[in-house]
Structure 1
Amino acid sequence: MSLLKKKQKKNNSLAIFATAAFGLQIIVILGLIVQGMTIRQLSLRKPLNFVELVNGERVTIDEKKTQDPEVIRQFIIKTMELMFNWTGNLPPQTLEEVANPKPDPGITIIKPEGGSAKVTTGSWIASFSLSEDFRKGFLSKLAEITPPEVFSDNPTQTISAQLKLKRVTAPEQIDVGKWRVGIVADLIQQKRADGRKIVIPFNKDILIQTIDYFPYPLPQQMTDLQQAIYSVRSEQLEIYEIRNLCLLDNDSSSDEPFKQC
């Protein structure tokens, strides 16, 4: 009888131990599942995007802010002005260069059909606001319309250009993360020697999309040119198409003055 009781106690202890071990295994498995899900979420999460302010402070860019209509509108204005304002000087990097700008040697572009031409350094920097598949062909066309006199050292031959924006429409969302913005503008080329002007209508339908942005890993080693390029890309927006527009009437201030040509 005593032997039977000892055997039952032993069996009960083994059962309790087995149950406890099984319970611990379930807890471990659940912990591993939770940990795996957490790691997956972290791997799918987009990295924080930063931009450096004038005072050197680095702040995060909220993706929702890049979708704000005014942010998109200002992105178009800044990009187009940098692209088509040709002064013959490099974009100033310091206060001293504002007072005494450096001449712009231009950036040489190799044309697909052969030969080469130049675009301004500002235009080349602004071109990084374009999608990669659109950028190369656009730069080639831009080089064709950029007068060589923009880079001339002879003051009697030098030509400057300015994009005068008359109207920029509110962004119209055409798909998830994609918008369309219309602009009415004039590209005004002026010969500095006698002040003669050539006015070229510049009415465009611009298509924009959101992009990911990854900051430069070694910001302290960046050149001025690299800083300018990364500043452009930090907007988290890019232009992927530019179409011609026609005015429906002569009133560029009307609500719907555009149609695609």
Structure 2
Amino acid sequence: MTYGTGKSAPLTPPDITARKGGAPIVCLTAYTTPMAEIVDRHCDLVLVGDSVGMVLHGLPDTLGVTLEMMVMHGKAVRRGLKHALMVVDMPFGTYEESPEQAFRNAALLMRETGCAAVKLEGGRAMASTIGYLTERSIPVMAHVGLTPQSVNAKGGYKVQGRGAAAEIVLRDARTVAEAGAFSVVIEKVPDVLARRITADIDIPTIGIGASAACDGQILVVDDALGMFTAFQPKFAKRYAELGEMADKAVAAYAEDVRSRAFPAPEHTYGDNPQPLPGGKSA
């Protein structure tokens, strides 16, 4: 798709759905304008995830994330995107009560952030809500398997869908697809189950800790860049070690300040820098 100017047009939920079985869909999270500008050049879909609570706000899990936080970060990401589809996570407690509650909060997210879709967690229990939203022009990305907002009920961040439980996850995926979701995230399930779901449903599957056979993949960008180092999930491949690089850079800066090597004359203003003890200039 292109604008009349020749620029690539922003992707839409139907564009993503049409990629089922085609070229893999590239997805990453983003929470800030600078990061959005970077990932927009390479990704098809950018998720403003509630993982922001852990990654940027130091929360122990995603349960403390608020609608206001998602609006703030959603606005920031929107400013950095030109091409990728933007999806915003609905926080815990903003959609589970009723389809009507979900609609009010999803409409607010879309209105305030300019996102093209929302994401909510849950399978069969959320089917009526997904149908209610999609019938009212709110595209929904679903999320099954490990659902982090249910960490307490699930007893931690465990692999889902092993053994007989595979049928439960499969039914969840089928149900959200039938309810009208345009795509579904499958998190932390066995490879064989992710392959089975991908072959079984008509909407794209986006894997995270699932299978390379999924229609697309998503990672938390700070995991991929080595910026979030509190823990490293098995499924998160690090493509850089920016956290380590940042630590070394800050240490070098601190040493320069303490030794008065920074700021040097080229970093200051004035015609006649004054010498400091030790021969350095002010």
- Give TM-score scaled by structure 2 length: 0.21
Q: TM-score, normalised by structure 1?
A: 0.22
